[in-house]
Homo-oligomer: A and B are copies of this chain.
């Protein structure tokens, strides 16, 4: 199985640690590894080292090479420009066909947290086997709260028990977009819904068949890209086709109407670590439930995130509850945890006012 790390994200919600030239997947949010390093290490065993690829834009090749030491340049799959996940995954399909034939490949976000690599490997093995049978396979996450920030997978939890220790495989009834609070509660209580974590495994032919049916124009583009694959025109054709392509997500463009999707419910903890306030899902907290990655002096500080890029700077906090303080070389961010989603708004305002110095 080939594994593709989707590393095109910009991760504005982790500003000011994440920047244009250092998106979230290149940030060290815990321990010594960047998120993409952790993701690559996790995939190295199921996919074998030379079967792991990184899909990203040309700007990120150097920064990612800097963190993934010894990662060969030929294992980068370069999108000439960002067109959301459907084209990125189709590109992975074409490259799989050209490199290994019509064998299962998986796509994985570069910047998610997974709590148990062994359990992840078992899910992947079950997914690979189902993909080999012609299914599109997604790995879904058992919801732990009525989250309104994720898409959901409505699945049939009755069928598909796995044999022995092997994870079970179930048919998917529908992909559901981000619900409101009330719906999210119903999904959680029903036990018939999983979080859509954006992890998919399938054969190239399975994906391309669905694209031919649902996104015929994009499909034609990828046929032309495939025809030029080993020619001198490769790069030019790739750029032309991407330029002309409409950006669309794999969920909206393919999965919602795909004919044959199955899912493997994950038996590992997972988080998309979507913003600063989510750090306590994936990092150890101190006795006051703080996540601290800084030289910090705190007085009556609870449930907070205190994060500094630079260990030479001290962060002092007094009487804080549920707050986020992030310190970097040229920018400081302070906000309540509940407002963590609004960091995007700040980044948008900075873009509008041309503040490249802090972007």
The answer to whether A345 and B315 touch (CB under 8 A), given A325-B334, A332-B325, A334-B323, is no
Write the residues of chain A forming the contact surface with B, with a CB cutoff of 8 angstroms.
16, 297, 299, 308, 312-320, 323, 325, 327, 329-336, 338-339, 342-343, 345-346, 349-350, 355, 358
* Contact yes or no, B313 A330, CB < 8 A: yes
* Contact yes or no, B297 A318, CB < 8 A: no
Chain B positions within 8 Å of A350 at CB level:
297
Closest CB pairs A-B (n = 3): A318-B335, A319-B339, A314-B331
| Residue of chain B at shortest CB distance from A324 | B318
* Contact yes or no, A315 B342, CB < 8 A: no
Residue from the list B313, B318, B339 in contact with A318, Cβ < 8 A: B339
| Residue of chain B at shortest CB distance from A315 | B332
Chain B proximity of A296: nearest CB distance (Å): 10
Q: How many copies of this kind of chain does the complex include? A: 2
Main secondary structure of the interface of A (DSSP, over half): strand
* Contact yes or no, B334 A346, CB < 8 A: no
Chain B positions within 8 Å of A334 at CB level:
315-318, 320, 323, 325, 334
* Contact yes or no, B323 A355, CB < 8 A: no
Chain B proximity of A304: nearest CB distance (Å): 9
Chain B positions within 8 Å of A355 at CB level:
314
Interchain CA distance A331-B295 in the complex, whole Å: 10
Interchain CA distance A286-B172 in the complex, whole Å: 55
* Contact yes or no, B358 A314, CB < 8 A: yes
Chain B positions within 8 Å of A336 at CB level:
318-320
| Residue of chain B at shortest CB distance from A336 | B319
* Contact yes or no, A299 B346, CB < 8 A: yes
Interchain CA distance A334-B294 in the complex, whole Å: 14
Chain B proximity of A79: nearest CB distance (Å): 30
* Contact yes or no, B332 A332, CB < 8 A: yes
Interchain CA distance A355-B334 in the complex, whole Å: 24
* Contact yes or no, B314 A335, CB < 8 A: no
